[in-house]
């Protein structure tokens, strides 16, 4: 059974960088596509980007200039860094496995608040 767990600071200051980690169990981070999404009251569910088994990544145009996804195969983890955050980046951030453009399963989510 594949399970995902997001972790990271719950509070980030404006203009700083948000950093989250997703730990995968029950599957290898080297297989499948792994993705980050977020959900906010203002914009609903948004896809941020994905990492491929090769380690390369793909991003939504909305996040391409600020997001960086990476993989640590030794820990079976992937990470999200989102730079220059503002209050608009306050959201619940999810990692999920992606298959043929659909997401299953999802992690439980991590609430990140951007505030000074």
Partner 1 sequence: DIVLTQSPGTLSLSPGERATLSCRASQTVSSGYLTWYQQKPGQAPRILIFAASSRATGIPDRFSGSGSGTDFTLTISRLEPEDFAVYYCQYYGGSPGITFGPGTKLDIK
Using alpha carbons only, what angle is made at residue 35 by residues 49 and 73, rounded to the nearest 5 degrees?
Answer: 110
Beta sheet of 67-72, edge-to-edge order: 3-7, 18-25, 77-82, 67-72
Q: Which of 74, 100, 115, 116 binds partner 1 (CB under 8 A)?
A: 100
**For partner 1, which is the closer residue by CB, 12 or 50?**
50
Site residues for partner 1, 1-30, by CB under 8 A, read: none
47: contact with partner 1 by CB under 8 A: yes
Q: How far is the CB of 63 from partner 1 (least distance, A)?
A: 9
**For partner 1, which is the closer residue by CB, 10 or 102?**
102
Show the site string, 55-74: x = touches partner 1 by CB under 8 A, - = not. ---xxxx-------------
109: contact with partner 1 by CB under 8 A: yes
Binding region for partner 1 (CB under 8 A): 44-47, 49-50, 58-61, 94, 96, 100-109
């Amino acid at each position: 059974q594949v399970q995902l767990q997001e972790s990271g600071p719950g509070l980030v200051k404006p203009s700083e960088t948000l950093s989250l980690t997703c730990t995968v169990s029950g599957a290898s981070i080297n297989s499948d596509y792994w993705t980050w999404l977020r959900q906010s009251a203002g914009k609903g569910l948004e896809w941020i980007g994905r990492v491929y088994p090769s380690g390369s990544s793909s991003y939504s145009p909305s996040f391409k200039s600020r997001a960086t996804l990476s993989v640590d195969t030794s820990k079976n983890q992937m990470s999200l860094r989102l730079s220059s955050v503002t209050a608009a980046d306050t959201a619940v951030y999810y990692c999920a496995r992606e298959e043929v453009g659909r997401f299953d399963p999802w992690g439980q989510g991590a609430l990140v608040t951007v505030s000074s």
